């Protein structure tokens, strides 16, 4: 899709201004219903688009211009936990309702220099706490495929905005499934890159040892193109890797014959929705047809992943939210929503003297076991195929008052974050009720290129 738009801009079939205006119009007509955006930056978007048109009209070598700025003129939006200079960044929480950052997150400035045009800031669960988008203090985002249902979370606005074509692509974060889950609920593609592949600098930390910065697109190819712009070492983030950024688009359509795809028996339990299981099996069939070798594997410590994840993440959350003290910016702590308060209390408890060893230290030990499970698996396979969500998108209000049900929605996504692995979530058709279903491909560290190759081939058959 991005490639098509770029070629139209290059051939001057459309102008960047026309393009941006058409997406802004879409936001104007769709957003009141969907509630994907918290802030729309109309004026700056139009100004930037005009600048892009200037650049294009003055350029003597368009190929060079677009190779330097591969996203030139492409309308996008950021999850509202990405710091954007001079643009309100609320984290979807009332405590930051008036907070305007003084700096851009690294990913925000990288996408600016790639030529992307930001149309605004996207709704999400407040501070990225949730799996349905309903923990937003600015109201839930609705699923474009069924507006009585949630769009997934926490990057709810990211998935919904891309699915309803209010932007070409959008950024988000995935701490325990927060990109893959909304992508699977909105028939879109999400990449959760390897931990340390994309800088976290400037993005509000939820759980610092698990947060992964990615995006939602409508195709694997677009996802690869955007990742090639956001990935890489950042001197402002000590956890980013110096591992070279590969050309993710190179040979993206290469044959996948003989590639080994693992199916995890623990991920296909009876607790998973039967239609989702069925769709996962059809995906396995597609890969078999494409010539991949399907191998049954086991990740024996999977059942402990969710408990380990919530102990670690809530501990880190309790500390990360301490800076919101209302002294230098934002409002008082009584403006925190229930979910933030719940997480602060549980996390503080888990880190307290006398409980630390029993909870935090033990959870880290489990984490090590989970990493070892995956390590063993990747000795046998090139990627793992699994469902994303154990349930279909719930009705708005269905799980919001049941934190346990909400937390359980992460059961198939959190192991990936615990192990710091990359995963690509892909659309896999629709349920009998017409609701989107997604699958995920999980790879070894820094194997994003392989995931895109597998995803691209899958899309060609399944679309």
Partner 1 sequence: MTQDYSMVLGLEIHMQLNTDSKMFCGCKNDPFESDANTNVCPVCLGLPGAMPVPNLNALKNAQLFAHSVGAKLQTKIIYERKNYFYPDLPKGFQLTCPHNPIAVGGSLNGINFREIHLEEDTAKSIHTDDLTLIDFNKSGVPLLEIVTEPDFTDIDQAVEFCKEIQLIARYLGVSEADMEKGNMRLEANISVRKPGQVELPNYRVEMKNINSFSFMKKALQHELRRQAETLVNGEVLVQETRGFNEVTGKTFSQRSKEEANDYRYFPEPDIPEIEVDDKWMSEITTRDVLLPSELRLKLKEKGLNDQYILRLVGDFSLYEKYLAVMDLGYSPSESANFVVNISEYKEKSPLEIDKIEKLKKTSKITDEAILSPIVETVINENSKVVSDFKSGNASAMQFLIGQVMKSTQGKADAQIVASILNKLLA
Question: Using the rule CB under 8 A, is 83 a contact of partner 1?
Answer: yes
Pair 40, 27: CB distance under 8 Å: yes
CA atoms of 317 and 308, how far apart (whole Å) = 14
> How many C-beta atoms surround the C-beta of residue 29 within 10 A?
11
Q: Which is nearer to partner 1, 197 or 449 (CB)?
A: 197
Q: Which is nearer to partner 1, 82 or 452 (CB)?
A: 82
Contact region with partner 1 (CB under 8 A), list: 19-27, 288-296, 350-358, 397-405: 350-358
60 Cβ neighbours under 8 A, 6+ residues apart: none
Which residue in the set 113, 352, 402, 461 belongs to the binding site for partner 1 (CB under 8 A)? Answer: 352
413 Cβ neighbours under 8 A, 6+ residues apart: 174, 176, 177, 180, 181, 388, 389, 423, 440
Question: Using the rule CB under 8 A, is 73 a contact of partner 1?
Answer: no
CA atoms of 268 and 284, how far apart (whole Å) = 12
Question: Using the rule CB under 8 A, is 324 a contact of partner 1?
Answer: yes
Q: Which is nearer to partner 1, 249 or 344 (CB)?
A: 344
> 101 is written with which tokens?
């950052």
Q: Which is nearer to partner 1, 367 or 449 (CB)?
A: 367
Task: In angstroms, give the least distance from the CB of 349 to partner 1.
Answer: 10
In the three-class reduction of DSSP (H, G, I as helix; E, B as strand; rest coil), residue 276 is classed as helix
Cα distances (Å, whole numbers) of residue 414 to 45, 77, 96, 302, 321: 35, 25, 27, 10, 21
Task: In angstroms, give the least distance from the CB of 12 to partner 1.
Answer: 38
Q: Which is nearer to partner 1, 289 or 328 (CB)?
A: 328
Q: Which residues, 179 to 218, sit near partner 1 by CB under 8 A?
A: 200-205, 207-209
Task: In angstroms, give the least distance from the CB of 84 to partner 1.
Answer: 10
Q: Which residues, 24 to 43, sit near partner 1 by CB under 8 A?
A: none
Q: Which residues pair with 436 in a beta bridge?
A: 430
Q: Which is nearer to partner 1, 347 or 436 (CB)?
A: 347
Task: In angstroms, give the least distance from the CB of 400 to partner 1.
Answer: 25
- Give the contact letters, 234-263, x = binds to partner 1 (CB under 8 A), - = no: -xxxxx------------------------
Q: Which is nearer to partner 1, 32 or 354 (CB)?
A: 354
Pair 161, 171: CB distance under 8 Å: no
> 35 is written with which tokens?
């509630």
- Active site amino acids: 79, 154, 178
Task: In angstroms, give the least distance from the CB of 55 to partner 1.
Answer: 29
Cα 238 to chain centroid, rounded: 21
Q: Using alpha carbons only, give the angle 309, 262, 208 rounded to the nearest 5 degrees.
A: 25
Task: In angstroms, give the least distance from the CB of 194 to partner 1.
Answer: 14
* 116 backbone φψ class: left, alpha, beta (φ>0; ψ -120 to 50): beta
Q: How many amino acids of this chain bind partner 1 (CB under 8 A)? A: 43
* E strand map for 343-407: 383-387
In the three-class reduction of DSSP (H, G, I as helix; E, B as strand; rest coil), residue 67 is classed as helix
Contact region with partner 1 (CB under 8 A), list: 5-13, 326-334, 369-377, 385-393: 326-334
Question: Using the rule CB under 8 A, is 102 a contact of partner 1?
Answer: yes
For partner 1, the binding residues (CB under 8 A) are 81-83, 89, 91, 96, 99, 101-103, 105, 200-205, 207-209, 235-239, 315-316, 318-319, 321-325, 327-329, 348, 351-353, 356, 360
């Amino acid at each position: 899709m991005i490639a098509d738009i770029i070629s139209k801009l290059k051939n001057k079939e459309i102008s960047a201004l026309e393009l941006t205006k058409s997406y802004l119009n879409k936001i104007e007509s769709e957003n009141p219903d969907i509630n994907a955006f918290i802030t729309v930056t109309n004026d700056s978007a139009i100004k930037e688009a005009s600048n892009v048109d200037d650049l294009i009209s003055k350029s003597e070598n368009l190929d060079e211009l677009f190779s330097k700025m591969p996203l030139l003129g492409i309308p996008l939006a950021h999850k509202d936990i990405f710091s954007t200079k001079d643009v309100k960044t609320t984290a979807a929480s009332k405590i930051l309702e008036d907070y305007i950052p003084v700096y851009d997150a690294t990913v925000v400035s990288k996408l600016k220099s790639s030529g992307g045009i930001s149309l605004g800031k996207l709704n999400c669960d407040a501070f990225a706490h949730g799996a349905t988008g309903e923990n937003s203090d600015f109201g839930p985002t609705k699923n474009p495929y069924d507006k009585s249902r949630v769009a997934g979370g926490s990057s709810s606005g990211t998935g919904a905005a891309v699915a309803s074509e209010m932007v070409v692509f959008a950024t988000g974060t995935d701490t325990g499934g927060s990109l893959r889950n909304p992508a699977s609920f909105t028939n879109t593609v999400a990449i959760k890159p390897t931990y340390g592949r994309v800088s976290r600098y400037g993005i509000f930390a939820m759980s610092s040892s698990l947060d992964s910065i990615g995006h939602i697109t409508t195709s694997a190819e677009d996802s690869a193109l955007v990742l090639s712009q956001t990935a890489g070492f950042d001197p402002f983030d000590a956890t980013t890797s110096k591992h070279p950024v590969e050309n993710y688009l190179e040979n993206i359509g290469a044959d996948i014959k003989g590639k080994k795809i693992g199916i995890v028996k623990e991920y296909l339990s009876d607790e998973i929705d039967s239609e989702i299981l069925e769709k996962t099996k059809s995906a396995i069939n597609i890969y078999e047809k494409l010539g991949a070798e399907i191998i049954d594997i086991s990740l024996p410590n999977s059942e402990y992943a969710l408990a380990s994840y919530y102990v670690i993440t809530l501990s880190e959350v309790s500390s990360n939210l301490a800076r919101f003290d209302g002294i230098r910016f934002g409002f008082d702590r009584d403006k925190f929503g229930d979910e933030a308060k719940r997480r602060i209390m549980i996390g503080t408890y888990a880190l307290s003297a006398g409980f630390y060893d029993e909870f935090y230290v033990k959870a880290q030990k489990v984490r090590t076991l989970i990493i070892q499970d995956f390590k063993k698996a990747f000795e046998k396979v090139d990627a793992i195929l699994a469902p994303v969500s154990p349930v279909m998108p719930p009705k708005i209000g269905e799980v919001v008052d049941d934190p346990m049900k909400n937390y359980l929605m992460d059961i198939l996504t959190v192991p990936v974050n615990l192990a710091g692995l990359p995963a690509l979530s892909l659309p896999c058709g629709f349920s009998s009720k017409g609701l989107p279903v997604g699958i995920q491909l999980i790879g070894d560290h820094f194997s994003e290129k392989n995931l895109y190759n597998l995803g691209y081939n899958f899309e060609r058959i399944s679309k």
